[in-house]
């Protein structure tokens, strides 16, 4: 069907002819030619109307927020103990609770402590604890750490069964603690590791030592006894220039240790006071040490004659030996186990005039991992002098220790208990 182009203002459209004719009748126009192009002007112009004016709603004023009271903030902190909610605490919470010891940088120490807390403290005690935790965190140098501060900060396991400070546990913490920014959970892990190792990993040990050049022959004749129980011993030699060197070498060759006991068996405290420490070293220590090493002996330990010593002689000896043994030989002796990591230790006499098998067995039974019972004597057999142990008593001690799975250690090796447990 033919179509006509109609222009409306700025736009056009094509419409059928009959529609145009109908439009012509309405407007009085001539029907015209069907093919005629007609221009139709806009009859009505509809202006866009502006939207009705809307009065904006008045702004909503939020209800005033009442800040928490100090009591409410402190209650929030108290309730965060042992809870992940502790992570949500901010500096403002501690500041509003009037915990002025908590700074912006130390908030992390307080929140980490609270989240990992294993015991619930009331407000007054918790205030002191949080401040101790912050003081611990703010310690600048590792060497400034104290056992008391760790205990006050809630680190557990730093006292023994009697409530006395456990210096060994603290020393173990000091070995592996970071250099700064001390957090209670991290230090607690170190203490827990120490107790686990002592209870489950580190060996229980016993060291048997024999003193004096005059003990050599009896010791040599009882090597069978040590072999029977797979026990190693330490032999501290004095008067080395006067004894059978080959027997000494053979004792070491069978797995035992040779130590130093003074060339002339001097009383270190008296001799060093009269002549000086350097003169005592020259006369009684260094010459024999050189001779022993020249023979091929591996000498790294020393035992004081008479157990006599001073702080100055201790310090002098540790420049030449890794381990130094004192000696306890009085009546009614209580045998005490000692940490195996000590460079200076005490040997307890099992000579005939002091020995008490019941007390020795009790000490063996009470050994804990990482501890050593140091027992010292002189010749083996029956002698008039009290400075001996009978074969029967010696075997009783050795067999009892062996039955309890106690490890025998040479004095220079007792300190290797951590390596031995790996």
Q: Express each pLDDT in 275-301 by its tens digit.
A: 999 999 999 999 999 999 999 999 999
The predicted structure's pLDDT at residue 66: 85
336 and 348 Cβ atoms separated by less than 8 Å? yes
Cα 30 from chain centroid?
A: 111
The predicted structure's pLDDT at residue 413: 96
The predicted structure's pLDDT at residue 58: 74
pLDDT band for position 47 (cuts 50, 70, 90): low
* CB count in 10 Å sphere of residue 370: 24
Q: Taking Cα atoms as reference points, which of 384, 324, 378 lies closest to residue 349?
A: 378
How many percent of the chain have pLDDT more than 90? Answer: 81
Question: What distance in Å separates the CA atoms of residue 45 and residue 266, rounded to the nearest whole number?
Answer: 131
pLDDT band for position 44 (cuts 50, 70, 90): very low
Q: Taking Cα atoms as reference points, which of 137, 70, 75 lies closest to residue 110?
A: 137
Residue 226 is encoded by which pair of tokens? 């040590």
Bridge partners for 376 per DSSP: 209, 349
- Taking residues 68-74, report their average pLDDT: 95
Instruction: Please determine, for residue 96, whether its predicted confidence score (pLDDT) is greater than 80.
Output: yes
The predicted structure's pLDDT at residue 59: 77
- Indicate where the chain has its CATH 3.20.20.370 domain(s): 205-408
The predicted structure's pLDDT at residue 111: 97
Residue 409 is encoded by which pair of tokens? 């250690």
- Taking residues 199-227, report their average pLDDT: 97
The predicted structure's pLDDT at residue 408: 98
Q: Which of 29-33, 170-174, 246-250, 263-267 is predicted with the least confidence, judged by mean pLDDT?
A: 29-33
Q: Classify each residue of 283-311 as buried b or exposed e, where b means 16 or more C-beta atoms within 10 Å of its C-beta.
A: bbbeebbeebeeeebebbbbbbbebbbbe
219 and 235 Cβ atoms separated by less than 8 Å? yes
Question: What distance in Å separates the CA atoms of residue 334 and residue 163, rounded to the nearest whole number?
Answer: 21
pLDDT band for position 55 (cuts 50, 70, 90): confident
Instruction: Please determine, for residue 172, whether its predicted confidence score (pLDDT) is greater than 90.
Output: yes
Instruction: Please determine, for residue 200, whether its predicted confidence score (pLDDT) is greater than 80.
Output: yes
Residue 164 is encoded by which pair of tokens? 């006395």
Q: Taking Cα atoms as reference points, which of 118, 116, 119, 75 lies closest to residue 96?
A: 75
Instruction: Please determine, for residue 3, whether its predicted confidence score (pLDDT) is greater than 50.
Output: no
pLDDT band for position 338 (cuts 50, 70, 90): very high
Q: Classify each residue of 16-34 as buried b or exposed e, where b means 16 or more C-beta atoms within 10 Å of its C-beta.
A: ebeebeeeeeeeeeeeeee
Instruction: Please determine, for residue 143, whether its predicted confidence score (pLDDT) is greater than 70.
Output: yes
pLDDT digits (tens, 9 = 90+) for 102-123: 999 999 999 999 999 999 999 9
The predicted structure's pLDDT at residue 26: 43
Question: What distance in Å separates the CA atoms of residue 75 and residue 96, rounded to the nearest whole number?
Answer: 11
Question: What distance in Å separates the CA atoms of residue 115 and residue 185, rounded to the nearest whole number?
Answer: 10
3-class secondary-structure state, position 112: helix
Question: What distance in Å separates the CA atoms of residue 129 and residue 151, rounded to the nearest whole number?
Answer: 10
**Residue 81 CB contacts under 8 Å (≥ 6 apart), including other chains:** 114, 117, 120, 121, 126
The residue ranking higher by pLDDT, 205 or 46, is 205
- Taking residues 15-28, report their average pLDDT: 44
The predicted structure's pLDDT at residue 60: 73
205-408 CATH choice from 1.10.1040.10, 3.20.20.370, 3.30.2270.10, 2.10.109.10: 3.20.20.370
Question: What distance in Å separates the CA atoms of residue 206 and residue 402, rounded to the nearest whole number?
Answer: 10
- What is the average pLDDT value for the chain, to the nearest integer? 89
Element (H, E) at 375: strand 371-377
Instruction: Please determine, for residue 417, whether its predicted confidence score (pLDDT) is greater than 90.
Output: yes
Question: What distance in Å separates the CA atoms of residue 249 and residue 292, rounded to the nearest whole number?
Answer: 10
Q: Taking Cα atoms as reference points, which of 332, 329, 422 lies closest to residue 374?
A: 329
3-class secondary-structure state, position 46: coil
pLDDT band for position 65 (cuts 50, 70, 90): confident
166 and 174 Cβ atoms separated by less than 8 Å? no
The predicted structure's pLDDT at residue 235: 98
């Amino acid at each position: 069907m033919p179509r006509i182009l109609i222009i409306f203002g700025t736009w056009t459209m094509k419409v059928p002819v009959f529609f145009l004719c109908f439009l012509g009748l309405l407007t009085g126009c001539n029907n015209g030619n069907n093919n005629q192009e007609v221009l139709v002007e806009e009859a009505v112009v509809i202006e866009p109307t502006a939207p009705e004016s809307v009065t904006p709603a008045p702004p909503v004023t939020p209800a005033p927020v009442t800040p928490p009271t100090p009591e409410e903030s402190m209650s929030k902190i108290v309730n965060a103990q042992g809870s992940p909610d502790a992570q949500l605490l901010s500096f403002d919470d501690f500041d509003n609770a009037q915990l002025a010891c908590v700074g912006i940088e130390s908030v992390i120490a307080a929140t980490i402590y609270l989240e990992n807390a294993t015991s619930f403290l009331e407000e007054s005690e918790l205030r002191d604890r949080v401040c101790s935790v912050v003081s611990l965190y703010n310690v600048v140098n590792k060497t400034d750490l104290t056992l008391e501060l760790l205990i006050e900060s809630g680190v557990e396991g730093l006292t023994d069964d009697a409530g006395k400070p456990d210096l060994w546990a603290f020393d173990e913490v000091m070995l592996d603690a970071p250099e700064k920014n001390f957090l209670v959970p991290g230090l607690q892990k170190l203490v827990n590791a120490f107790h686990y190792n002592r209870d489950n990993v580190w060996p229980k040990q016993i060291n048997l030592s024999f003193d004096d050049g005059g003990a050599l022959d009896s010791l040599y004749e009882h090597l069978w006894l040590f072999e029977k129980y797979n026990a190693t011993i330490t032999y501290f030699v004095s008067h080395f220039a006067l004894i059978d060197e080959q027997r000494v070498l053979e004792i070491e060759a069978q797995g035992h240790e040779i130590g130093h006991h003074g060339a002339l068996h001097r009383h270190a405290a008296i001799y060093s006071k009269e002549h000086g420490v350097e003169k005592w070293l020259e006369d009684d220590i260094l010459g024999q040490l050189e001779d022993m090493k020249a023979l091929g002996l591996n000498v790294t330990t020393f035992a004081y004659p008479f157990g006599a010593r001073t702080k100055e002689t201790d310090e002098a000896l540790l420049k030449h030996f890794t381990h130094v043994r004192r000696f306890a030989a009085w009546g009614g002796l209580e045998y005490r186990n000692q940490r195996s990591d000590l460079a200076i230790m005490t040997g307890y006499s099992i000579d005939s005039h002091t020995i008490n098998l019941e007390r020795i067995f009790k000490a063996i039974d009470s050994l804990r991992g990482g501890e050593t019972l140091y027992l010292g004597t002189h010749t083996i057999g029956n002698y008039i002098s009290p400075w001996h142990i009978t074969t029967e008593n010696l075997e009783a001690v050795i067999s009892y220790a062996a039955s309890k799975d106690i490890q025998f250690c040479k004095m220079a090796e007792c300190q290797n208990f951590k390596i031995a447990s790996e």
